[in-house]
Amino acid sequence: MSEPTKFLLREEQIPSHWVNLLPDLPGEPLPPLSPATGEPAGPDDLTPIFPMGLIAQEVSAEPEVEIPAEVREAYGLWRPTPLFRARRLEKALGTSARIYYKYEGGSPAGSHKPNTAVPQAYENAKAGVKKLSTETGAGQWGSSLAFACSLFGLDCEVFMVGSSYDQKPYRRSMMEAWGATVHRSPSDRTQSGRAQAEHPTGSLGIAISEAVEVAGQDPDCNYSLGSVLNHVLLHQTVIGQEAILQMELAGDEPDVIVGCVGGGSNFAGLAFPFMRAGSSARFVAAEPAACPTLTRGVYRYDFGDTAGLTPLMPMYTLGHDFVPPPVHAGGLRYHGDAPMLCGLVKAGRIEARAYRQNETFEAAVRFARSEGIIPAPEPAHAIRAVIDEVERGEANVILFGLCGHGHFDLAAYDAYLAGTLEDPEFSEADMEAALARLPEAPAIA
Ligand SMILES: Cc1ncc(COP(=O)(O)O)c(C=O)c1O
């Protein structure tokens, strides 16, 4: 046992602060815009659906934000998470590159999402809110919020994207076990859902509209988002801060850092602390070819949801009412991405690559057969990108985010193994039509 496989930290090494990359970003930050006036959105635009504690984090210009003691204590249920050296994968690939992965699948919900669900539930409970509404794609975010609400005595109502609801029935059971109520989206419970009845597979954008609508109409209910917003990316930086310490334990420094991107939170959580620390690594973001926001989208102001209820955000977008084909990586089926991450892609600090469904599952199975862990379909995109890096032969030390396990995604594995998994086509025409419906907003460079 002379060569360690896992690099572990003690509980007191759970970070005491989150890293806020906002002050480090190139250029002037582009503000979100109010959907009603087109003017920069201020805290007042957010108070109907978010508590002040989270709004303060959303707009904070401080380089670090302290983690409340109650949140840090709850993090102790699963953090610090392990960093693995993928020795068996290296061997299977026949590479001399050293590959590491930070594994977030050991959290109660099975992914990185509780890192932000817990502080969001905490701040809402502290503000006297009684209930949170949200959307979920893969079911990972809804499960995480259901878990976090159970810790702080909040009710939880989840709109689950139709295609995922059908593919992953046990995610619903999991949310219900933690006390949440789950609806298939588009539902007939909201105006936003009824207006999208002709898209029965649903999308994250539609489910967000439904959840925002519910929160906007109930004074005791706030809305909670699992990705994209600054405060969500902030909360996820516990991942990268731990990984920095663990890479030091391993005596290595990554020259490439890879993650999958749906809205950008696990990627930012791993990457931002390395950027803050001045890492010279290349950063590679992997997304689905069926929903290629960073590689094919336009950099414009757009709504975060389908119905146009959220502030306008500066980001790469396929158009807020673009409905991506129903790939199994439900958490990556989102038309936009986090403004902070998009700014870094635009500035050339992050490279983006898109992969098709079958090639990601091929990578996932290869990983499972060497490292043991069955990855969620979302981080399978990161694994595909890692294998690509190895095949290019330029990287010596690769670090990637394995942000969740795939135990609820076995129907997708079944289809892949049976040879019936499809590679749904991205429709350029649908994107062009959706882009033609982008809201009026100032152009961004
Ligand atoms: C396991 C997993 N990975 C990745 C994502 C994508 O989200 P993000 O880009 O915010 O990490 C999701 C979203 O639901 C997810 O469930």
Instruction: Report the C-alpha gap between 134 and 21 in whole angstroms.
Output: 26
Residue 25 has pLDDT above 60, yes or no: yes
Atom index in ligand 1 nearest the CA of residue 226 equals: 10
pLDDT at 153: 98
Query: How far does the centroid of ligand 1 lie from the alpha carbon of residue 364, in Å?
Result: 16
Q: At what angle do helices 114-126 and 52-59 cross, to 10 degrees?
A: 130
pLDDT of residue 364: 98
Put the strands of the sheet holding 155-161 in their side by side order: 181-185, 155-161, 131-136, 221-223
Q: Are 225 and 261 in contact (CB under 8 A)?
A: no
Supply the Cα-derived Rg of the chain in whole angstroms.
Answer: 20
If you average pLDDT over residues 28-54, what whole number do you get?
Answer: 89
| Cα of 2 from ligand 1 centre, angstroms | 35
Ligand 1 contacts CB of residue 310 (under 6 A): no
For the stretch 199-232, pLDDT in tens is 999 988 899 999 999 999 999 999 999 999 999 9
Average pLDDT estimate for 287-306: 95
Tokens of 191: 């105006």
Name which residue sits closest to atom 13 of ligand 1, judged by CA.
331
Give the CA angle between residues 362, 112, 236 to the nearest 5°.
125
Task: Name the β-bridge partners of 66.
Answer: 17
Whether the Cβ atoms of residue 248 and residue 397 lie closer than 8 Å to each other: no
Confidence band, pLDDT 50/70/90 cuts, at residue 87 = very high
- Looking only at the bridges linking them, the beta strands covering 83-85 and 98-103 are antiparallel
Closest atom, ligand 1, to C-alpha of 136: 14
Ligand 1 pocket member 263 (CB < 6 A): yes
Closest-lying ligand 1 atom to the alpha carbon of residue 377: 1
pLDDT score recorded for residue 130:
98
Residue 60 is classified by DSSP as: -
Distance (Å) from CA 64 to ligand 1 centroid = 24
Between CA 371 and CA 406 the distance in angstroms is 14
- Alpha-helical (H) ranges within 251-374 are 265-276, 293-296, 339-346, 357-371
Is 203's C-beta closer than 6 angstroms to any atom of ligand 1?
no
Ligand 1 closest atom vs CA 376: 1
Residue 393, pLDDT score: 94
210 lines ligand 1 (CB under 6 A): no
- The response to whether residue 265 sits with its C-beta less than 6 Å from ligand 1 reads yes
CB-based burial, 53-85: b 16+ in 10 Å, e otherwise: bbbebbbbeeebbebeeebbebbeebbbbbbbb
Rounded average pLDDT over 136-141: 91
Task: For residue 145, report the distance from its CA to the centre of ligand 1, in Å.
Answer: 13
Pairing type for strands 256-260 and 397-402 reads parallel
Could you read off the pLDDT of 163-178 as tens digits, one per residue?
889 988 999 999 999 9
- What pTM was estimated for this model as a whole? 0.97
442 versus 363: the higher-pLDDT residue is: 363
Average pLDDT along the chain? 95
Average pLDDT over residues 342-359: 97
Q: Is 116 in the pocket of ligand 1 (CB under 6 A)?
A: no
- Examine the pLDDT at 138 and tell me if it is beyond 90: no
Please state, in angstroms and rounded to a whole number, the distance separating the CA atoms of residues 219 and 162.
27
The crossing angle, in degrees rounded to 10, of helices 410-418 and 357-371 is: 100
Pocket of ligand 1 contains residue 143 by CB under 6 Å = no
Q: Which atom of ligand 1 is nearest to the CA of 111?
A: 1
Q: Is 137 in the pocket of ligand 1 (CB under 6 A)?
A: yes
Residue 1: band (very low, low, confident or very high) from pLDDT cuts 50, 70, 90: low
Nearest CA to ligand 1 atom 6: 262
- Residue 227 Cβ contacting ligand 1 at under 6 Å: yes
141 Cα nearest atom in ligand 1: 14
Largest CA distance in the chain: 63
Report the nearest atom of ligand 1 relative to the CA of 232: 10
**CA of 86 relative to ligand 1 center, distance in Å:** 22
pLDDT at position 269 = 98
pLDDT of amino acid 293: 97
Judge if the beta carbon of residue 262 lies within 6 A of ligand 1: yes
The rounded distance, in Å, linking the Cα atoms of 294 and 385 is: 15
260: helix, coil or strand? strand
Q: What local confidence, expressed as pLDDT, does residue 444 receive? A: 87
Q: Give the number of the atom of ligand 1 that is nearest the alpha carbon of residue 262.
A: 9
- Compute the distance from residue 262 Cα to the ligand 1 centre, in Å: 6
What pLDDT, in 10s, does the model give residues 372-385?
999 999 999 999 99
To test the pocket of ligand 1, the residue of 101, 111, 174 to mutate (highest count of ligand atoms within 8 Å of its CB) is 111
pLDDT of residue 307: 87
